[in-house]
Amino acid sequence: MWLSCTPKYAVASFSRQIFKSYFHVLGRWRCNVAAFMPEAAGFEGVWDRSALQDFSVSDSESFWAAAARQRLSWIRAFHTVQDCDLSRGQIRWFEGGKLNVSVNCLDRHVHTCPERVALIWERDEPGSEVKVTYRQLLEMTCRLGNLLRRRGVKRGDCVTIYMPPCPLAVASMLACARIGAAHNVVFAGFSAEALAERIRDAQSSTVITVNQGVRGGKLTELKATVDAAVHNCPTIQQVFVAMRTENPVAMTARDVAMEEEMLKEDVVCEPAAMDSEDVLFLLYTSGSTGKPKGLVHTQAGYLLYAALTHRYVFSYHDGDVFGCVADIGWITGHSYSVYGPLANGGTTVLFESTPIYPDPGRYWEMVQRLKINQFYGAPTAIRLLLKYGDQWVHEYDRSTLKTLGSVGEPINTEAWEWYYRVVGDGRCPVVDTWWQTETGGICISPRPSDPDAEIVPGMAMRPFFGIKPVLMDTEGKELTSNDTSGALCIAQPWPGMARTIHNNHQRFIDTYCQPYPGYFFTGDGGYRSKDGYYQITGRLDDVINVSGHRIGTAEIEDVVNQCSAVAESAVIGYSHDIKGQGVYAFVVLKKDVDIQEADLSLELNNMVSTKIAKYASPDFIQFVRRLPKTRSGKIMRRVLRKVVDRDLNRLGDLSTLDDPAAVEEIIQGHRELCGKQQSS
């Protein structure tokens, strides 16, 4: 459906038209809400923030139509605001409209402020940052767009990008958008096999990478990893290689020296006129099966949602420096290092390093040096830094900070308080932002743009404009009272939501639309407080969250089970001080296997690191004779979780258990493995 993108007509010099339509609404302040949200200027009877919130949900079409007209530059106006049917997994926004995302992120700002800094590349080596203006980023994007086109990349193709955060990675994403190709950014920490699986699923013919990565003072052989990956990818025809370091790497006939070739290209590149619902990108994320899902995001709705949430959740103002430290390989990097800030004409930081390189003061030294106004990071890093002590924070001037954001997992009260008091000196609102790869942008979060709205530590609290969260009971009924917990769903579509899973729309329907017909199911559990605020309590499925990275337990089991000595395995998450969750694997060996358990543990850890990524490697591997199973053969992970949590009084109903003696053995084995210390 979304791959049908025949270019209807070439659009020559449409930029003048764009600026006429873009600015006609500015400067209209009709009522007081318009003073903080110009999109709201025309809404009848909407006089304050809470009325605007209600309006955005009850008349979401009017709300999103106004926002889309004001915030995006269109080549052709849309004729239908939305055409959605959640129960069938059909989501379409702004149909009839044509636009180009790279024009929205670059050209329109180049017209007004060409010398404004778009990107600050915070390289691994502290103090060596590189600034890229909007004019320069447009030039880079155009050269690369022309190169991709000349080398045969067409509208509707999918380009895989395997790069650390850097200006050329952003230019690669935008170059794809410029020529109408989709991108598929794969986190540069993934192994060759994980990369190959994603390239094959996306059917990419082109990969863009760098010779080597640099992180925490160490080099990683990214080009070599790509070589190993594409070996098993029949669709791959070419690999573009940019030079992050000066060390040459082996090049073959298939490889393209990217910077050299870019220099030969023109600095003007005709942008493709894309339909609102053409694909902008795929991004793979873990689900509860072994196979990662390529979530599909489209052009207009995604960009609008990223831009609007970036502006209002963080109170981003013109001239601010926005510092999102997520990697571009995750959705957070897409929406808040790249698309949101650039659509808003902002200055955004690309962070290549780690929170503790060269020392635990890195973030705050960077805040001081780059004069960062909004800092957006993950609880796992905050918990880690908290342990190193306050002096690393106090050493640096953080007076530029205005908003602090948290994302990826629940933020515990201790970490929240430290972030607020020590990092923000009690001056900056902390916004705990809940969202997912699937939602495209932040869905639940406090908004500091509401100056008198309270913020409760450790709670995502309030829905964003147009978002209607609901909690469901086990029967699939909406829970209407407060002070209650249930399955978190979203009751109506919004423009930023994913449209499908690449090549598997049925899985999209089964995962998100079937469980609660008519609603979008998030996979998370939530609690609504007596004041009506939301708190996200964690996943309800077999997905765990290690340092803010999603990983399916089934993905890890698949790898462990590939070991010839292993008969079967069960992987669970357990609570971990710093990582949020750690990985715990129960492994049953084949009969007559004669191998030291310690050696096998090492081998299994290695297998997981090389087949998935380091972060997925188990912290504990417990060898057991059998797993607790129901009579129908299902592994009772609930029981395993209770054992590891030392919550033996609440093992729950064991009546369906096939062989209760298995549990006793497992408890015993767990004690031996983890000794007297808590398993965390």
Applying CB under 6 A, the residues found at the interface with ligand 7RM are 285, 330-332, 407-410, 432-437, 460, 522-524, 536, 539, 545, 550
Tell the smallest beta-carbon distance from residue 288 to ligand 7RM (Å). Answer: 12
* Dist. CA 148–CA 160, nearest whole Å: 12
* Dist. CA 670–CA 586, nearest whole Å: 10
Measured from the CB atom, the residue of 178 and 579 that comes closer to ligand 7RM is 579
Measured from the CB atom, the residue of 287 and 360 that comes closer to ligand 7RM is 287
Tell the smallest beta-carbon distance from residue 462 to ligand 7RM (Å). Answer: 13
* Dist. CA 363–CA 415, nearest whole Å: 16
Residue 339 DSSP label = I
Measured from the CB atom, the residue of 205 and 285 that comes closer to ligand 7RM is 285
Measured from the CB atom, the residue of 251 and 554 that comes closer to ligand 7RM is 554
Tell the smallest beta-carbon distance from residue 550 to ligand 7RM (Å). Answer: 5
Q: Work out the number of other CB atoms within 10 angstroms of the CB of residue 635.
A: 19
Q: What is the pairing mode between strands 620-624 and 580-589? A: parallel
* Dist. CA 486–CA 527, nearest whole Å: 7
Measured from the CB atom, the residue of 22 and 418 that comes closer to ligand 7RM is 418
Tell the smallest beta-carbon distance from residue 603 to ligand 7RM (Å). Answer: 29
Tell the smallest beta-carbon distance from residue 197 to ligand 7RM (Å). Answer: 18
Measured from the CB atom, the residue of 269 and 571 that comes closer to ligand 7RM is 571
Closest CA to 72 of 345, 272, 271, 303: 303
Tell the smallest beta-carbon distance from residue 524 to ligand 7RM (Å). Answer: 5
Residue least distant from ligand 7RM (Cβ): 437
Instruction: Check whether the bond before 410 is cis (ω within 30° of 0).
Output: no
Tell the smallest beta-carbon distance from residue 373 to ligand 7RM (Å). Answer: 21
Measured from the CB atom, the residue of 160 and 545 that comes closer to ligand 7RM is 545
- Look-up: residue for tokens 């939530």? 526
CA of 643: how far to CAs of 430, 551, 600, 669, in Å?
A: 35, 21, 23, 10
* Dist. CA 282–CA 279, nearest whole Å: 8
DSSP letter string over 432-468? EEB--GGGSS--B---TTSTT----TT--BSBPTT--
Residue 641 DSSP label = H
Start-end of H helices in 93-251: 101-102, 108-112, 134-150, 167-179, 192-202, 222-230
Tell the smallest beta-carbon distance from residue 542 to ligand 7RM (Å). Answer: 12
Cβ distance 153 to 239 under 8 Å? no
* Cα dihedral 28, 31, 37, 41 sign: negative
Reduced to 3 states, what is the DSSP secondary structure of residue 543?
strand
Measured from the CB atom, the residue of 493 and 523 that comes closer to ligand 7RM is 523
Tell the smallest beta-carbon distance from residue 573 to ligand 7RM (Å). Answer: 11
Measured from the CB atom, the residue of 330 and 465 that comes closer to ligand 7RM is 330
Tell the smallest beta-carbon distance from residue 262 to ligand 7RM (Å). Answer: 32
Measured from the CB atom, the residue of 133 and 445 that comes closer to ligand 7RM is 445
Residue 272 DSSP label = P
Measured from the CB atom, the residue of 65 and 382 that comes closer to ligand 7RM is 382
Closest CA to 304 of 108, 93, 522, 107: 93
Tell the smallest beta-carbon distance from residue 293 to ligand 7RM (Å). Answer: 10
Tell the smallest beta-carbon distance from residue 450 to ligand 7RM (Å). Answer: 18
Cβ distance 50 to 452 under 8 Å? no
Measured from the CB atom, the residue of 449 and 522 that comes closer to ligand 7RM is 522
- Look-up: residue for tokens 């489209």? 298
Closest CA to 335 of 420, 208, 445: 445
Tell the smallest beta-carbon distance from residue 377 to ligand 7RM (Å). Answer: 12
Measured from the CB atom, the residue of 436 and 610 that comes closer to ligand 7RM is 436
Reduced to 3 states, what is the DSSP secondary structure of residue 44?
coil
* Dist. CA 223–CA 229, nearest whole Å: 10
Q: Which two tokens stand for residue 567?
A: 């008969």
Tell the smallest beta-carbon distance from residue 350 to ligand 7RM (Å). Answer: 18
Measured from the CB atom, the residue of 19 and 615 that comes closer to ligand 7RM is 615
* Dist. CA 532–CA 155, nearest whole Å: 46
Measured from the CB atom, the residue of 408 and 582 that comes closer to ligand 7RM is 408
Start-end of H helices in 379-482: 379-388, 391-394, 413-418
Tell the smallest beta-carbon distance from residue 535 to ligand 7RM (Å). Answer: 8
* Dist. CA 168–CA 143, nearest whole Å: 11
Rounded to 5 degrees, what are φ and ψ at 31? Answer: -150, 175
Q: Work out the number of other CB atoms within 10 angstroms of the CB of residue 246.
A: 7
DSSP letter string over 252-271? -TTEEEHHHHHHTS-S--PP
Measured from the CB atom, the residue of 436 and 609 that comes closer to ligand 7RM is 436
Reduced to 3 states, what is the DSSP secondary structure of residue 316?
coil
* Dist. CA 252–CA 268, nearest whole Å: 29
* Cα dihedral 303, 304, 309, 310 sign: positive
Q: Which two tokens stand for residue 12?
A: 């020559």
* Dist. CA 426–CA 593, nearest whole Å: 59
Tell the smallest beta-carbon distance from residue 539 to ligand 7RM (Å). Answer: 5
